[in-house]
Amino acid sequence: MTHPKLKPMPLSQPVELSPKPSLIGLTREEMGAALKEKGVADKQIKMRVSQLWNWIYVRGVSDFDAMVNVSKDMREMLKTHFTVARPEIVEEQVSNDGTRKWLLRFPPRGAGRPVEIEAVYIPEEGRGTLCISSQVGCSLTCSFCHTGTQRLVRNLTAEEILSQLLLARDRLGDFPDREAPQGTVMPAEGRKVSNVVMMGMGEPLYNFDSVKTALLIASDGDGLSLSKRRITLSTSGVVPEIYRTGDEIGVMLAISLHAVRDDLRDMLVPINKKYPLKELMDACRAYPGLSNARRITFEYVMLKGVNDSLEDAKGLIQLLKGIPAKINLIPFNPWPGTNYQCSEWEQIEKFADFINSAGYASPIRTPRGRDILAACGQLKSESERMRKTERLAFEAMMIANHGED
């Protein structure tokens, strides 16, 4: 089946196999040290870092030549030793509903081969959310998740995590005018990418240091300046790093809960064997700054006959007692070879009604970008180069599960 509305876009430059080190994803201190190492005088470093920071994160330039207030000699030096280039866009797809999906290729870091990951942009009324990845593959094996069937290839670097955001802004025309005066800051309103969720491939808390650096740069007030309230990190429940996230990053938290009893969660989200529900809930209760305006999101995938009974809904309310919480019901997105099915729509609504009547908002996450396989748990699946027959069977299954628009 073809999708006439999918628009192939011009691709970017192919990835270099041995790229220069990037200035993207370095803290200010690291950037200063990198400049010092290349002979920039101590007394200039602060000023140079601040210029570079503005060009890279406020104006989004990906070429040193565009940095017109940096002297020509300095630009030549920067070009010789560093890069601020974007990853290669292998494919860009635009869905009927405006959702965009990018397949990006990053150069090898040290030994190894180039890697590919996906990022997804979901436009909504008055806002737009970018879903980014933290790892290539995942070392965890949640039984309903397609990423969980793909082995972990490697962690993404802070540069690669941030590059997903920079590239999305490039492609959406979301950077301010490059001619704007020096010192320009990113406007808080009217951005296309107003929110970021770490809900792509991988377990972000198994790549804590890079995720921390990337998110602190994304929320830096002199750069991309995304409010921490508009960044959500989703975890399957790596308890020690949940505490660290609260203390060291301070973004919003989402927990992939999916079951309210340990025996079932052990099967669906096997990290539960290491960090069972009691420990997970204690970490959630201790998350700093929680209030009615700052709640934890609990993600709950609706699996037919597995976790979708009203008993489960009741258990969910009991489990979350005392925690400022939002519940996000996610219709299961099937993938080839899975044994699970999505709950009947009627059952999802009954479940949601029960939760609503207990006083919780429980939006049902409507599948977006279905025609380009942009939904949770499907990222990168398609780029695993499914054979055509497999893909046709998959598309038929998707339509059977959700009905056409």
Which residues contact ligand SF4 (rule: CB under 6 A)? 138, 140-142, 145, 147-148, 202-203, 236, 256
| From 83, 129, 256, 362, residue interacting with ligand SAH (rule: CB under 6 A) | 256
Quote the least distance from Cβ 275 to ligand SF4, whole Å. 12
State the binding partner of 199 from ligand SF4, ligand SAH, none, CB within 5 to 8 A by kind: ligand SAH
* Binding of residue 207 to ligand SAH (CB under 6 A): no
Are 354 and 260 within 8 A, CB to CB? no
Quote the least distance from Cβ 106 to ligand SF4, whole Å. 18
Let me know if 115 is exposed, middle or buried by CB neighbors in 10 A (0-12, 13-18, 19+): buried
CA 110 to chain centre: 24
Quote the least distance from Cβ 271 to ligand SAH, whole Å. 9
CA atoms of 24 and 106, how far apart (whole Å)? 13
* Binding of residue 144 to ligand SAH (CB under 6 A): yes
Torsion from C-alpha of 311, 317, 320, 326, nearest 10 degrees? 120
Q: Determine whether 284 is an active site residue.
A: no
* Binding of residue 118 to ligand SAH (CB under 6 A): no
Restricting to residues 343-402, name those near ligand SAH by CB under 6 A.
Answer: 376-377
Nearer to ligand SAH, 204 or 223 (CB): 204
The residue number with the shortest CB distance to ligand SAH is: 377
Element containing residue 115 per DSSP (H, E): strand 115-124
* Binding of residue 333 to ligand SAH (CB under 6 A): yes
- Token readout for 98 is 């405006």
Are 115 and 136 within 8 A, CB to CB? yes
Quote the least distance from Cβ 326 to ligand SF4, whole Å. 18
Q: Of 118, 160, 203, 382, which is the active-site residue?
A: 118
Are 62 and 44 within 8 A, CB to CB? no
Q: Which segments within 168-269 are labelled E, that is strand? A: 195-198, 231-235, 252-256
State the binding partner of 376 from ligand SF4, ligand SAH, none, CB within 5 to 8 A by kind: ligand SAH
Nearer to ligand SAH, 83 or 236 (CB): 236
CA atoms 22, 28, 30, 31: torsion sign: positive
Nearer to ligand SF4, 224 or 251 (CB): 251
Longest CA pairwise span in the chain (Å): 69
CA atoms of 90 and 167, how far apart (whole Å)? 13
Quote the least distance from Cβ 257 to ligand SAH, whole Å. 8
> 3-class DSSP state for residue 28?
helix
Q: Of 160, 241, 376, 382, which is the active-site residue?
A: 376
Nearer to ligand SF4, 60 or 202 (CB): 202
| From 332, 352, 355, 372, residue interacting with ligand SAH (rule: CB under 6 A) | 332
Q: List Cβ neighbours of 400 (8 Å cut-off, separation of 6 or more).
A: none
Q: In which residue are the tokens 């079932």 written? A: 264
Let me know if 247 is exposed, middle or buried by CB neighbors in 10 A (0-12, 13-18, 19+): exposed
CA 213 to chain centre: 14
* Binding of residue 301 to ligand SAH (CB under 6 A): yes
Q: Are strands 296-302 and 127-131 parallel, antiparallel or unpaired?
A: unpaired
Which ranges in 11-157 belong to alpha helices (H)? 28-37, 42-53, 72-81
Nearer to ligand SF4, 202 or 334 (CB): 202
CA 162 to chain centre: 10
Q: Determine whether 376 is an active site residue.
A: yes
State the binding partner of 333 from ligand SF4, ligand SAH, none, CB within 5 to 8 A by kind: ligand SAH
* Binding of residue 272 to ligand SAH (CB under 6 A): no
> 3-class DSSP state for residue 75?
helix
Nearer to ligand SAH, 87 or 148 (CB): 148
Nearer to ligand SAH, 88 or 299 (CB): 299
State the binding partner of 83 from ligand SF4, ligand SAH, none, CB within 5 to 8 A by kind: none
- List interacting residues with ligand SAH (CB under 6 A): 142, 144-146, 199, 202-203, 234-236, 256, 299, 301, 330, 332-333, 376-377
Catalytically active residues, by annotation: 118, 376
